[in-house]
A = this chain, B = another copy of it.
Amino acid sequence: MIENEKLRQQIEFLKEIDDLKQIFRQTVLTKDRRQENDAEHSWHLAMLVMVLSEYSNHSSIDLLRTVKMVLIHDIIEIDAGDTFCYDDHDRNAKTKKERKAAHRIFGILPENQAQEFIDLWEEFEAMETPEAQFAAAVDRLQPLLLNYYSEGYAWKKHGIKRSQVIERNHHISKGSKVLWEFAENLIHESVKKGYLIDG
């Protein structure tokens, strides 16, 4: 039906990623406590980037690249599935599965765009550039916010402790010391309010 082969590939990709709306996470929405999916999560992260970028440890980050990174970072989960961040798991096996997914899904696109998205995803995963560090920071801060405002729903369900939350989230400080200080207060308040086990 589509005569333009390039456009055909692009539309095929845009149809494929509709499935990100079906990948559900452990965190729940603040109001109705329904599990959040990856598309909603990615949208929310982009909003965090837009609103909070002034708190990056680096005086200026490339906003467009950071927004792109958070918008595409979970697309690999269409094939690889979501991993709850407090699960202990084989990180090597996970990375291998995710890289395969990146090549299959982004590979639907015309070559230059496929490469751009694979590079962005690899940059996000490596967490070395200021943009990737800030993207990783909001990727951890957002579920902390949802957990706090849902009275620790996912934490309670899985019996998560303060020390685990600190261990899994302290890399927020790599992207933003201000946001990590804020997150530490949120964790402290969560323990005080009984949303999170002190231990």
Residues of A within 8 A of B (CB): 1-2, 4, 7, 10-11, 13-15, 17-22, 29-32, 36-37, 39-40, 42-44, 46-48, 50-52, 55, 63-64, 67-68, 71-72, 109, 113, 145-146, 149, 178, 182, 185-186, 189
Q: How far is the CA of A149 from the CA of B19 in the complex (A)?
A: 12
B47 pairs with A71, CB closer than 8 A: yes
User: Which partner residue on chain B sits nearest A52 by CB separation?
Assistant: B10
User: Which partner residue on chain B sits nearest A43 by CB separation?
Assistant: B43
User: Which partner residue on chain B sits nearest A148 by CB separation?
Assistant: B15
A/B interface sample: 23 pairs, CB < 8 A: A2-B185, A4-B182, A7-B55, A7-B178, A7-B182, A11-B145, A14-B47, A14-B52, A15-B145, A17-B44, A17-B47, A18-B44, A19-B31, A20-B43, A21-B40, A22-B32, A39-B40, A43-B46, A50-B71, A51-B109, A51-B113, A63-B64, A64-B67
Q: How far is the CA of A55 from the CA of B11 in the complex (A)?
A: 13
Which applies to chain A's interface (DSSP): helix, strand, loop or mixed?
helix
Nearest-CB distance from A19 to chain B (Å)? 6
User: Which partner residue on chain B sits nearest A116 by CB separation?
Assistant: B50
Nearest-CB distance from A147 to chain B (Å)? 12
Nearest-CB distance from A126 to chain B (Å)? 21
- A71 contacts which chain B residues (CB < 8 A)? 43, 46-47, 50
B29 pairs with A21, CB closer than 8 A: yes
7 additional contacts (CB under 8 A) given A14-B44, A14-B145: A10-B51, A15-B145, A17-B44, A21-B40, A43-B71, A47-B72, A50-B71
- A4 contacts which chain B residues (CB < 8 A)? 178, 182
Q: How far is the CA of A168 from the CA of B82 in the complex (A)?
A: 38
User: Which partner residue on chain B sits nearest A68 by CB separation?
Assistant: B50
